[in-house]
Amino acid sequence: MGNNQRRDKDLFCISGFGLKHAAISTEKHDHHRMRRAALNPFFSTQAVAQLRPVIQSKIDYLCDALSKVCGSGEPVNMDDALMALTTDIITEYSFAKSYDFLKKPAFAPEWGKGLTGAAQSSMLFRYIPGLVDILLAAPPWLVNILDPKLMQLINLKLVKSIQHSGDTTRTKVD
For 50-54, what is the mean pLDDT? 95
Tell me the residue range of the domain where 137 lies: 108-174
- At 124-136, the pLDDT tens digits run 888 887 887 888 7
Do 131 and 70 lie in one domain? The reply is no
By C-alpha distance, which of 22, 16, 46 is closest to 36?
22
Do 170 and 114 lie in one domain? The reply is yes
Do 32 and 55 lie in one domain? The reply is no
Do 115 and 149 lie in one domain? The reply is yes
What is the structure's pLDDT at 56? Answer: 98
Do 67 and 38 lie in one domain? The reply is no
Do 45 and 5 lie in one domain? The reply is yes
- At 74-122, the pLDDT tens digits run 999 999 999 999 999 999 998 899 999 999 999 999 888 888 887 888 8
Do 1 and 46 lie in one domain? The reply is yes
2: left (phi over 0), alpha (psi -120 to 50) or beta: beta
Q: What is the DSSP letter of 28?
A: S
- At 14-49, the pLDDT tens digits run 776 667 777 777 888 888 888 888 889 988 999 999
What is the structure's pLDDT at 157? Answer: 61
Under the banding of pLDDT at 50, 70 and 90, the label for residue 66 is very high
Say how many domains are in the chain.
3
Do 157 and 135 lie in one domain? The reply is yes
Do 112 and 164 lie in one domain? The reply is yes
What is the structure's pLDDT at 59? Answer: 98
Under the banding of pLDDT at 50, 70 and 90, the label for residue 72 is confident
Under the banding of pLDDT at 50, 70 and 90, the label for residue 3 is low
- At 162-172, the pLDDT tens digits run 445 554 444 44
Do 116 and 172 lie in one domain? The reply is yes
Do 25 and 44 lie in one domain? The reply is yes
Q: How far is CA 48 from CA 33, 75, 168, in A?
A: 21, 33, 38
